[in-house]
Structure 1
Amino acid sequence: MAVPSVKLNNGLSIPIFGLGTWKSKPGEVTQAVKDAIDIGYRHIDCAHVYGNEKEVGEALEAKFKEGVIKREDIFITSKLWITFLRPDLVENALKTTLSNLKLDYLDLYLIHWPIAYKEEGDLFPLDADGNIQHSDTDYVDTWKALEACVKKGLTKSIGVSNFNSKQIQRVLDVATIPPVTNQVECHPYLNQKRLIDFCKSKHIVITAYSPLGSPDRPWAKPDDPKLLDDPKLKSIAAKYGKSTAQVVLRWNVQRGNVTIPKSVTKSRIAENFDIFNFKLSDEDIALIDTFDCNGRICPMDRSTESPHYPFHEPF
C-alpha cells in the first residue's frame, strides 16, 4: 500500500509516515529497516549521532540489490550533529553520512539541534567537571553551509529539528533556501499546536518524533506517565478496534504531520504501519488534543545554559 505524501515548500514530496532509528541498536537496525521496506515503508529517518547509519546503509544496499526498491523509491533523512555546526565542517559531515548510508545524496538533511557543541572532539564533549562544552557557532551560519550542500547535489532538501518559532524565523530571515521541515517531539502529551500553526504559516511541515512517547528512552523514570497506557486513549482505541499506538500515530498523521515511530520488532513495525484504513472523528482528534500537559520527554536539559537552547521560549 502506498503511503500518502506531503508536498514540501520546494515542490518535492515526503512520505507522511516513516521508520525512526533513534535508539535502534546497530545489531538490530539492519533487519528492522529491511522489514520496514518489505512491509511498505518508503521513508527512513536517520542521524549521525544515533551511531547506526552504517547498518542502515547495509539494509538499503541489500534492498536495492534485491530489486525491492530503487533509490528514487525511498526517502532518506539524516541530521547534522551539533559538534559539526561550524560552517567549514558541514559538508564533510554530510559526506560521512552519505558514505555510511552508501548513498550519493540524501532526500533531507536537518540541523539536529540549534545548540552547538565544542567542535572536533567527542560527540558529547565534557569539561573536567562533566559538563557539556558548548561552542559559540550560530546555526544561522550553519544554514548557509547547508544551502551550499543543496547546490552541490548532496541533499535535495534541508530543514531543522528542535527549533522554536523565533529560531525558525531567524533562519528564514537569511535563507535563500527555506527549511522544508521542523522535526520536533510531538505526541498527545506535547501536541505542539502553536508551533505547528506557526510552521504552517511559513509553509514548513512538522515531522513528529517520539510520536509514541518514547517509552524506551534511557532516562525514563519508573513513575513517569506512560502515554500508551493512558485509559482515555485506551477507550478511544477500543472504539476503533485499534491499539493505542495506532490511534496516537493516526492522530499525528491526520493533523498533517510527518510521523516517524521507531521500532525494531517486525510485528510492531507492521502494526504501526497499519493506520491508513481508518480515520479518527473530528471529535476524537479534538479530545486527544486536550491531553496536552507540556509533557516534553526530550528536554536536552544538559544544554539549558546555551544561548540557543530552544525550550525557554513558549513555542
Structure 2
Amino acid sequence: MAIAVPSLNWLRVFEAAARSESFARAAEDLNMSTPSVSQQIRALEERLGRALFERHARSVVLTDAGVAYLPLVQQALQSVENATLGLFGANPTQQVFIQSVQIFAQGLLAPRLALFIEKYDNVAVTLNTGFRRLDSSAYFNDLEIVFGRQRTHGLDSDVLVGEELYPVARPDIADLINTPKDLLNFRLIEVAPERAGWHFLFDHYKLHAETPKFVYTDDTSTAMVMAQGGMGIAIARAPASNEAMKSGGLVPCLGGDAIHGPEFFHLVYRDCTTLRPAARLFRDWLLNWCSELRRATPTT
C-alpha cells in the first residue's frame, strides 16, 4: 500500500525536534507550542506507520527509523529552500544551480570555477555532484552536466567534451608493460558504470583475454587512488581524469597511446530560451571554455 507524501510542515517540525532532541526546544525554534509539536510528530508517525521518537519523561530520542529518516528530510528541506531562494529570492537572476557528474565536477569544473566567479562576481553558484544519495531529480537545477552517448537528455543540450582513454599505473608497474598483452599480468581496475571499459580497450589492442584479473569500483577517481596504491592498472579518461592522474603520481602505459571514447559530456537544460540570466551566463562561459579545451587536448 502506497504511503501519501507527508505534509511539509510535519517534516519541518520533525527536523527541528530531531536536531534538538527536544519537543520543547523545537517548539521554541518554530514559535509553536510544545503540544502542537507533539501533535504534528504523532500525525507524521501515524502517516508513516513507524515511531520516529522514543518518548521519555524529560527527553525524546530518535528511533532507528528516525535516525535513517532525518538526513533525507534535511536534504529535502534544504532543496526546497535553495529552489525558493533561487527562483523567488531578492535577486533571483544572480543564482545558478548546477548538477554535474562527479568526474567532470572534480576533474574539470571545480578547479576552474574561480575563473567564472572572477568574471561574474555577482553570480552565486551552487555546484552539486553525485555524492548525494537522493535522486538528483528531487533537486532544482538550472543546468545539468551528464555523460553518455549522444541522445536527447532534455529539450535542449550541448556537447561539452569527449574523452581519451589509455591505461595508467604507477611508474614501477608501467615500466613492465611493453605490449598490450603485458597488461594481463596485472589486475585491471574497472569502473563498473562506464560502458567504455577494459573490453573496449581490448578491442582496440586486438587483445583476446580469456581470464583477465579485474577489480571493480564505481568511480574513476577511486580507480586512480587504487592504482596509486599499486593494486593494478586503471583507465585514464582525459581530460576529466588528468587532475586525479597527476595527483596520484600515475603515468601512461604503452607510450600513452590514447583511444577516442565513444561518449561525451553534455550540458542539458529544459529550454535555452527560458534559462535565467545567470544560468545563460554560465552556459556561455562553459561552452567557450570547453571549446578551448577541445582545441588544446591532443588527439590521436
Same fold per superposition (TM over 0.5): no
Which has a greater percent of strand? 2
Shorter-chain TM band: under 0.3
TM-score by length of 2: 0.27
Q: Which has the larger radius of gyration?
A: 2
Which has a greater percent of helix? 2
